[in-house]
């Protein structure tokens, strides 16, 4: 388990992180969202001891990360892929990492194949497109099958096919017990992948909640053969009902199963019944809007 415990960090006069506490449980994906400069990358770099907090602790399995002498197989990270060494080939990068992580060199070829870089294995990273660099960074992170995976904006510059493949890898790793911390500006991606969502702003956590808690509502959308009858029944049960185009009713204060039961008792034919969920984009907008409070 990766734990950030009351972590603060300043760079000169700039406070990058302010008393951030956050836990990433094994088998869970935590999505980190926030504007540029919110402190996401700083926080993630602390997880692999590339940065040290001024105050607070970062621990894995209860041990401070700065006490570790080797991290291969325990935690791995993919950061800004544009900074990967330009003179190295993809094969060199993976072989160096394999050597240091204690991973058999035989795993290099399958990793190159997994990220679609087999044909470019001997090509210099400097000649790579941004998407290829990103794939290499992901390959480096996944090579040693880490127990904690840190992915900082991993789908930047990736094409849709590889993006979906990455989502599958992340889901598979989480299912095997890997704790995943992922940051992204793609809110739909975070909404799809994360079990828990953390919203950061100006170095602080402004919301940390389970995805369902954040996105679930008690609002249902229903379409039946006789909307007026259902509206009457629902209002009698004390629910607020709003009529939408095409005979759709928006019911506030009732879950879908309750709405379905009322419609069934009234002998109505239900054509459509769905829960109306919040969109992360809307929540994010309201949380990070200038002047917003926790």
Angle at alpha carbon of residue 152, lines to 147 and 155, rounded to 5°: 105
- Binding status of residue 121 toward other proteins by CB under 8 A: no
Per CB under 8 A, which region of 143-151, 215-223, 237-245, 263-271 contacts other proteins?
Answer: 143-151
| C-beta closer to other proteins: residue 56 or 260 | 56
Question: Does position 269 bind other proteins by CB under 8 A?
Answer: no
The residue within the footprint of other proteins, chosen from 1, 215, 229, 248 (CB under 8 A), is 1
10 vs 192, beta carbon nearer other proteins: 10
Q: Which DSSP category does 80 fall into?
A: -
- Alpha helix ranges (H) inside the chain: 40-47, 90-101, 108-114, 130-142, 160-175, 187-193, 211-215, 227-236, 256-265, 280-288
Binding status of residue 123 toward other proteins by CB under 8 A:
no
Of 91-99, 154-162, 246-254, 272-280, the segment contacting other proteins by CB under 8 A is 91-99
Quote the CA–CA distance of 287 and 166 in Å, as a whole number. 28
Q: At what angle do helices 256-265 and 227-236 cross, to 10 degrees?
A: 110
**Is there binding between residue 176 and other proteins (CB under 8 A)?**
yes
Under rule CB under 8 A, residue 281 binds other proteins: no
Can residue 92 be called a binding residue for other proteins (CB under 8 A)?
A: yes
Indicate which single residue of 21, 35, 85, 159 sits in contact with other proteins (rule: CB under 8 A).
Answer: 85
Pick 65 or 158: Cβ nearer other proteins: 65
Binding mask 13-52 for other proteins (x = CB under 8 A): -----------------------------------xxxx-
Q: Is residue 101 a contact residue for other proteins (CB under 8 A)?
A: yes
Residues 6+ apart with CB under 8 A from 285: none
63 binds other proteins (CB under 8 A): yes
98, HSE (Cβ side, Cα atoms, 13 Å): 18
Distance, in Å, from the CA atom of 260 to the CA atom of 254, rounded to the nearest integer, reads 10
Q: Quick check: 140 and 94 in contact, CB under 8 A?
A: yes
Task: Please report how the helices 160-175 and 130-142 are oriented relative to each other, as an axis angle in degrees rounded to 10.
Answer: 10
Q: CA–CA distance from 217 to each of 114, 154, 224, 253, 279 (Å)?
A: 39, 30, 21, 9, 10
User: If binding is defined by CB under 8 A, does position 260 make contact with other proteins?
Assistant: no
Q: Which of 29, 138, 140, 174 binds other proteins (CB under 8 A)?
A: 140
User: What phi and psi, each to the nearest 5 degrees, are found at residue 195?
Assistant: -90, -30
Q: Does 69 participate in binding other proteins (rule CB under 8 A)?
A: yes
Per rule CB under 8 A, count of chain residues that contact other proteins: 44
Which residue ranges make up the site for other proteins (CB under 8 A)? 1, 48-51, 60-63, 65-74, 76-77, 79, 83-89, 92-93, 95-97, 99-102, 140, 144-145, 147, 176-177
């Amino acid at each position: 388990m990766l734990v950030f415990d009351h972590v603060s960090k300043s760079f000169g006069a700039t406070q990058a992180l302010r008393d951030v506490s956050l836990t990433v449980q094994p088998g869970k994906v935590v999505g980190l969202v926030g504007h540029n400069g919110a402190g996401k990358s700083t926080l993630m770099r602390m997880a692999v001891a590339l940065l040290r907090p001024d105050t607070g602790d970062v621990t894995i399995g209860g041990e401070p990360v700065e006490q570790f002498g080797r991290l291969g197989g325990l935690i791995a990270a993919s950061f800004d892929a544009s900074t990967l060494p330009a003179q190295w080939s993809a094969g060199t990068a993976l072989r160096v990492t394999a050597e240091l992580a204690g991973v058999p060199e035989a795993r290099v070829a399958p990793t190159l194949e997994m990220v679609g870089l087999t044909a470019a294995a001997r090509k210099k990273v400097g000649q790579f497109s941004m998407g290829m660099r990103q794939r290499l960074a992901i390959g480096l992170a996944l090579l040693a099958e880490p127990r904690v995976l840190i992915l900082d904006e991993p789908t930047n510059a990736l094409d849709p096919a590889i993006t979906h493949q990455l989502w599958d890898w992340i889901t598979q790793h989480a299912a095997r017990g890997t704790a995943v911390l992922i940051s992204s500006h793609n809110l739909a991606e975070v909404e799809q992948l994360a079990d828990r969502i953390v919203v950061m702003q100006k170095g602080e956590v402004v919301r940390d909640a389970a995805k369902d808690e954040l996105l679930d509502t008690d609002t249902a959308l229903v379409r039946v053969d006789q909307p007026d009858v259902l509206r009457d029944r629902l209002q009698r049960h004390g629910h607020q009902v709003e009529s939408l185009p095409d005979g759709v009713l928006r019911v506030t204060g009732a879950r879908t199963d309750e709405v379905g039961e009322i419609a069934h008792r009234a002998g109505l034919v239900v054509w459509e019944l769905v829960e109306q969920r919040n969109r992360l984009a809307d929540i994010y907008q309201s949380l990070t809007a200038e002047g917003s409070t926790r």
